[in-house]
Chain A
Amino acid sequence: MTNVMEVKNLRVGIRHDDEDIAIVNDVSFHLNKAETLGIVGESGCGKSMMSLSLMGLLPAGVRWQSGDIVVDDLQFKNFKTRDWRNVRGKKVSMIFQEPMSSLNPVHTIGNQIVEMLLSHEDISKKVARVRALEMLKLVGIPRPENVLKEYPFQLSGGMRQRVMIAIALACNPEILIADEPTTALDVTIQAQILELMKDIQKKLKMSIVLITHDLGVVAEVCDRVIVMYAGEIVEEANVVSLFDSPKHPYTQGLMESLPDIDNEKEYLSSIPGIVPSPGNMPKGCRFAPRCPMAHERCHIEPPTFKTEDGSNVKCWLYSEDREEVKL
Chain B
Amino acid sequence: MLTYIIRRLLHTVLVIFVISLIIFFSIRLTGDPVSVMFSAGEPSKEAIEEVRKNLGLDKPVYEQYFIFLKGLVTLDLGESFRSGTSVTSLILERLGATLALAFGGIVVAMAIAFPVGILSAVKRGTSIDFFGRIFSLIGISFPNFWLGIMLILVFAVHLRWLPSSGFESFSHLILPSITLGMILSGILARLVRSSMLEVMNQQYISTAKSKGISEWSVIIKHAFRNALLPTITFLGIQFGSLLGGTVIVEQVFAWPGVGRLIIDAINQRDYPVIQGGVIFLAVIMVLVNLIVDISYSFIDPRIKTGKGA
Contacts and interface: CB of A to CB of B under 8 A. Distances in A.
A119 B124 CA distance: 27
B226 A106 contact: yes
A151 B301 contact: yes
Nearest to A173: B212
Interface string A74-87: 00000001001111
A103 B207 contact: yes
Given A84-B212, A87-B212, A89-B212, A102 B207 contact: yes
Interface in A104-119: 104-108, 115-116, 119
B213 A85 contact: yes
A167 interface: yes
Given A105-B301, A105-B309, A106-B299, A57 B209 contact: yes
B203 interface: yes
Given A94-B210, A104-B204, A119-B211, 18 more contacts: A57-B206, A57-B210, A88-B212, A101-B204, A105-B204, A105-B300, A105-B302, A106-B226, A106-B301, A115-B211, A115-B221, A116-B211, A116-B212, A119-B214, A151-B301, A153-B307, A153-B308, A154-B305
A101 B212 contact: no
A314 interface: no
B227 to A, nearest CB: 10
B46 interface: no
Q: Of B203, B207, B210, which is in contact with the most chain A CB atoms at under 10 Å from its CB?
A: B210
Nearest to B229: A106
Nearest to B205: A104
A26 interface: no
Interface in B186-226: 202-204, 206-215, 217, 221-222, 225-226
Interface residues of A, number: 33
B226 A104 contact: yes
A164 interface: yes
Given A89-B212, A119-B213, A96 B226 contact: no
Contacts, number: 81
A3 B267 CA distance: 85
B186 to A, nearest CB: 26
Contacts of A102: 203-204, 206-207
A153 B222 contact: no
7 contacts: A60-B124, A94-B210, A98-B203, A101-B202, A102-B206, A119-B211, A153-B308
A153 B302 contact: yes
A5 B124 CA distance: 34
A88 B203 contact: no
A84 B210 CA distance: 9
A153 B309 contact: yes
A115 B204 contact: no
Contacts of A81: 215
A209 to B, nearest CB: 13
A306 interface: no
A106 B210 contact: no
A86 B211 CA distance: 9
Nearest to B207: A102
A90 interface: yes
Interface in A122-152: 151
A136 B127 CA distance: 44
A105 B217 CA distance: 16
Given A81-B215, A104-B226, A105-B309, A88 B209 contact: yes
Contacts of A55: 210
Given A88-B211, A119-B212, A96 B203 contact: yes
Contacts of B225: 106-107
